[in-house]
Structure 1
Amino acid sequence: MLLKTRFYLPPMRPQCVIRQGLLDALDQTQGGELMLISAPAGYGKTTLVSQWLHQKPHTFSWLSLDKSHNSPRLFWQYAITALRQIQPALGQDADALATDKTLSAQEHIVIALLNDLDDLSIMNHSDKPVSLILDDFHLIESTTVLKSMNLFLDHLPPGLRVVMTSRTEPPLELARRRGSSQLRTITSEQLRFTLPESETFFNQTLNLNVPADVITHYYQTTEGWITGLQLISYSVHNQQGTASPPKMSPQYPGLDRHIADYLFEEVFCNLSTEFQNFLLSTALPRRFCAGLCNAMAGTHDALYQIKTLERDNLFIFPLDNYRVWFRLHDLFRQFLLQRLAILTDQEMQSRAQQGVDWLQQAGHYEDALALSIRITDWDRTEALLELLTQLSETQGLSDDAVRLLASVSLASVEPYPKLAATINQYCGASNGPEANIPSEASPYSNLQLSEPLTRRETQVLELMSKGLGNKAIADSLFISLNTLKVHIRNLYSKFGVDNRTKLLLKLNLQ
């Protein structure tokens, strides 16, 4: 007996942002083509297709898949029954073959179904193709089912298009289909909310009246991940009327519990122990490659594991065209770092130190510095700074290295006078306890920013508003130009802008 609810179109959510550009992309899919919507959990794949079918009605059949459909006979029984929503008499021969336990070759079922579809006039003479929706196709792992689906896709009638949603890229000869113009795709890059869509979601769809700069902060933190924004909205709703909105940023300890629970249940728990351990190793460095992961995880197959994670859309993004270096989505990285805290300090320290060793030997000194600072290995940090200072004797430390030093409190490195002196040299008093605390008496304390301004940032902003250039500001505050650049970048981030003109304009408007 088949479960009828597998064939029901999900209702259109009332709190839904209309994605007109993506709806048009779906509508442009032609008969005989596969539209693959592939992205990690929580990017609104099913919601988008449901929205499309409600907004642009046409003949379709819907099938929500689960793991039981890895049985070839059951899969095709469900597929045939779904297509009978179009024509009740469809697929009688194929259905008989699917229920015949003596038949071993699945291609006979597929061929019989394709012949029936080809005979339907609606498949050949309709102005608009019929759509077969296969939701959650990532749950299909059976090689037999995948092989028969390849055959089905190879011979689609001109009046039928297949729309799949999947968390992974299924092994359906996608490169060949792309080359023969039989494949269209929508990926996480297209699915993620834009900043205007995020503003619409918070202030029009949910009517939460969140300030624009705070929405910008949420958008940057989630990178437009739709479920991340949805879960943040729960916290915003719960804190309506409080003094400040919930803080979602790497600068704040902990992760919103709704997001942490979602990532644990929907992503982490569905991974094998092997991949869980591997991902935990990737979370410590700010970026990673196969060699670094092998060193940290004590494995020899990191390249395979990275490729698998990328194929499975596990919140991993390439940083170069050669796909050598990768990074994690920041919220997923924060979640993994929380999980990593469960490990013993000794085990985590050992993994990280192996990573620092590899990075230093490979010549990635600033990445090694970042990792040593993360694990507060001040002996190693001091040694790396000495090495970097020698290598850049004429030009001084790079902006990246200075930015890393600016994150270190002088109080935490007090037992390391040489390290403290280097930080003081490049960052001045900006790392002292007074400079890092919010400036409550500041004339800008009433501004609605993603984070309060520190006293040093307040001083920099006051001088910027008077029209002083960078050198004049640095001289006035007795800090280096590199240190000043760190403060200016922090101001841009807190005001949600990307240059001085926008910062001063926003300051004048407020």
Structure 2
Amino acid sequence: MLLTTKFLRPTSDPRAVTRDRLRDRLDRDGPKRLNLVIAPAGFGKTTLVSQWCASTGAPTAWLSLDEHDDEPRRFWQYVVGALEYAGLPGMSECHRILSQQGGEDLTALITAVINELSRDEGEWTLVLDDYHFIQDPAIHRLLGWFVDYLPPGKMLVIASRSEPPLPLSRWRVRRWVEDIHPGLLAFSDDECLQFFRNTMGLDISEEHARTICRKTEGWVAAMQLSALSSGQATGRSAVPRTIGKLDINERQISDYVLAEVLDQQPESLASFLLDTACCPRLSASLCDSIRDREDSQDMLEELLRQNLFLIPLDARNEWFRYHDLFRDALVQRMQLNDPERAERLWRQTMEWLLTHGHVQEAIAQIVRHGDWPWLARVLAEHGNNLIHGGFHLPVLEWLEALPAHLVDDSPQLQMLRIWGLFFANRVDSLEPLLTSLEDLLDRRVADSHPDAEGALGLNSEISLIRSYLARTRSDDKSASDLTRKVLEDIDHTRIPLKSVTYYGLGLDYYGRGELPEAAEALRSAVHYGQVERKPSTVLSSGGLLAWIQYNRGDIDTALRTCTEVRNWVDQHYADPTQPRLISCWQNSALTEIYRERNETAMAHSHLAPLLEHVNQGTEPGQHVIIQHVRGHLAFSEGRFEEAIEALEDAHHTGRQRRDHILFEPPVSAALLARCFLASGAIDRAAASLENIQVEAITNPLHKEQYYIGKARVLNAQGHPRQALECLMPLRNNVERDAHHLHLVEVLLISAESLELMDRRNDSRTLLELAVEKASEAGLIRLFAEESPLLRERLMDLPMLRTPGSWNRTVLHMLREQEATATDKQPLEQPDSSSPVQEAPTTPVCSLQEPLSQRELEVLALINEGFANKDIARKMEVAPATVKAHIRNLYGKLAVGRRTEALARARELGLLNN
């Protein structure tokens, strides 16, 4: 049960200062998605946001967080509850998904929430107040994903005492964020007077208020200290303590302000402020280390108690930072008074950050400091791990910042640049760089350079890169030879290369169709990737392993592989401020797994990040895989036009860019043929399989895809005997190799061939065997994708009606599919005697596939403003059937929402204007 008082927006205190200029900044503007109000306690964050919500008029879902909400399921349960309390439709479905979704993966729920927000065409605001109570990295990651896919017109507002670890830098570049920080909360003259008189209850003159506002320029923290100081005076008029001038534009605090602040502190506290000003972030351990003291935690808590420009970064008072303006002024004062000590403290801080794993933060400070020799040493030591952790682009930028001679004289940095370009898919520029590096290494060996052993390791890295380049040229022999040479030399080098090498070996085996050997090599790649702390290699290797396991029909094993790999990466490399590290192989495998399990919301959640890579441009092999699974998901959902477009793109890219793909791509033409068959275009289905060079296919899974697709087309053409002849040798192969997914498909299509040959008993025997095998493997969706004849025979099977959750799920899915297909059947096989078919209107004919009568009924009811549940009641069908009609309707009209569908229908003459 949810505590509904957490959903109540606080009423504004009538004594609170009205902040119209800040409320205007919070208003919706262009691409903005997030209002971020960050300030210490008592800065009026909640009051400001509440005032703004009251003035917008848009529906607002308010959620006041507390320490009990720092758990992913509870957090998102309350988010759904807040939206439901505010009146957003569709939240009951979200509650259902949450109740059924086990484990910690809540992407299906968040996808459903985003979809419901997208369906509502109005503006919505979700407010998360006191977000500083949230510390769980999983919540931060999922909230970042939520904002990434937030639909237009919807906005998130976060009020917090500390800046949340979200990808704010990336969002700010995209102009998604409005920051309200203490600098913007500075008071005007009138606000200052209202603050002291109404909020603080102090009897202060207008002249005194203006003096404070002029000297502090409305700085909130200083004004609070002034108010508290004035409140402590007794027996005399309260005159606020004067603070110096604040120059907001120059991002500096005047010497007078610093002097006033420092002079009022004990010597020990003032020394602490100056000594720790070099720290971009502060913790007791860091401060103790650079000061050689053990009292830093007490000092930090004292600064926090006095609110001396110290901002907490967590709710446990472990990490802090000074406000940028205050820190810059402290640094300037320290450099002026004792530059040698300032330099020494700064270097000690950087060493501590590097030693304790805060490498990126240290590098950013070193770059800002302009210490290029030190940056070169740090990159040579840590750059490889950064690249394999997914940070290849920042590494390339840091290398560009270095003076050219530092890179030219360093084989390690040159190798680092090559790896960075490789991971950035800029392989065309690698050959001359590799040659130049080889020349440099040869000269060092000839000159007996002290780092000759390091040269041996770099030669192994060069061989490994060249093996990947050989794969892009389809030079499998050279790739294999180079990889094995690296494996022979690898134990004699100090460079951790085993994970990447075994991944390349797995690709070689996969390309040759030696799947058991590929799986074994990829398991080794995952193991060594974890030992070597290379998360990107772990994800890619585990993803390809899961892809092989799924395509062999080992769905549970594939899902377990993905889960174990994902958990390891999130445990060791979870940084909510950075984009979540993903793998094309793993997300593609997960999309296929959840599509086959008929959990389409989960499938879409794993496909969505991949589509962004397609839109931005990605490596051709990844492009083919992504478009293949995208087309398969669209086919499963009956969006045949979208499926055909994606699969044609995958097929053409696979053929045109074959020389640039490291592996043999799947036979997308076979899946494309299924789309044409489902659309009734048998000739196009047959044509899509022409010109396929079967003898050139080395991967048995891909060869099986081709022959299965060919058999489907032969059945559709009325040649069941030829289809059986095509499948008989294939069945022996898939049974021998335990390719469970293809075995079930072979049995189903063979049963259809026998049914077309009037051998019904034999057909039923194969259908029963197919159901038995599919039940063992956990296959579900493939039954709904077969021909209407097969679906009809499957629903008649007695064994499918026996008790069991799997049987019940499959039978329910088939019945839903039948209900949808029945509505479309008259138009898919038109009757020439029908008056409607004799004289179709021109607008309807402009659609590639006309609307069925039931779809036209749904369209008319949508036009009248009925909701889905009301349409279902009027048509006396299940709500799921209505959703299926609407999905088909959107697909045929090429739209994504109701208003677009109605506008398109009016253009086509399907509705009266």
TM-score, with structure 2 as normaliser? 0.29
Q: Which has the larger radius of gyration?
A: 2
| Larger RCO: 1 or 2 (CA < 8 Å, sep 6+) | 1
Q: Which has the higher helix share?
A: 2
